[in-house]
Amino acid sequence: MIEMNSKTLSNFRAHVKTEYPKEACGFVLEVQGSEEYYPATNISEYPMESFVIDPKSYAEAEDLGVIKAICHSHPNASSAPSEIDTSSCEASNKVWHIISWPEDKLSTLRPRGWVVPLVGRNFEYGVFDCCTLIRDYFKEKLNIEFECLGGKDTWWDRGENRYLDNYEGQGFRSLPIGSPVQEHDVFLMNIVSPVPNHAAVFTEGDIILHHLYGRLSGHGVYGGYWRKHTTHHLRHVSLC
What is the average per-residue pLDDT within 140-167? 90
Q: Which residue has the higher pLDDT, 5 or 167?
A: 167
Give the CATH number of domain 6-109; options: 3.40.140.10, 3.40.190.80, 3.50.50.60, 3.60.20.10: 3.40.140.10
Q: Please name the residues in contact with 8: beta carbons below 8 A apart, sequence gap of 6 or more.
A: 28, 35, 36, 37
What confidence tens digit (pLDDT) does each residue in 5-28 have? 889 999 999 999 999 999 999 999
**198 part of the active site:** yes
At residue 202's C-alpha, the angle toward residues 181 and 168, to 5°, is 80
Q: How far apart are CA 98 and CA 80, in angstroms?
A: 8
Predicted local confidence at residue 114, as pLDDT: 67
**71 part of the active site:** no
Q: Considering the chain, what is the average pLDDT of its residues?
A: 92
Predicted local confidence at residue 51, as pLDDT: 93
What confidence tens digit (pLDDT) does each residue in 107-149 have? 999 888 767 789 988 787 887 899 999 999 999 999 999 989 8
> How much of the chain, in percent, has pLDDT values that exceed 70?
98
**130 part of the active site:** yes
Rounded to a whole number of angstroms, the distance between the first and last alpha carbons of the chain is 50
Of the residues 25, 71, 89, 130, which is catalytic? Answer: 130
Q: Which CATH class is domain 130-239?
A: alpha beta
What confidence tens digit (pLDDT) does each residue in 71-95 have? 999 999 999 998 889 888 988 888 9
pLDDT reading at 182 higher than 80: yes
Q: What are the residue boundaries of the structural domains of the chain, listed by start?
A: 6-109, 130-239
Of the residues 15, 184, 210, 233, which is catalytic? Answer: 210
pLDDT reading at 2 higher than 60: no
pLDDT reading at 31 higher than 80: yes
The answer to whether domain 6-109 and domain 130-239 are alike in fold is no
pLDDT reading at 97 higher than 80: yes
Confidence of residue 39 (pLDDT cuts 50, 70, 90): very high
Pairing of strands 172-175, 186-189: unpaired
Does residue 154 contact residue 169 with C-beta atoms inside 8 Å?
no
Looking at the DSSP bridge assignments, the partners of residue 236 are: 172
Predicted local confidence at residue 1, as pLDDT: 42
Q: Map residue 11 onto helix, strand or coil.
A: helix
Of the residues 198, 232, 233, 236, which is catalytic? Answer: 198
List of E strands, 102-135: 106-109
pTM to 2 decimal places: 0.65
Q: How far apart are CA 240 and CA 203, in angstroms?
A: 16
pLDDT reading at 184 higher than 70: yes
> How much of the chain, in percent, has pLDDT values that exceed 90?
74
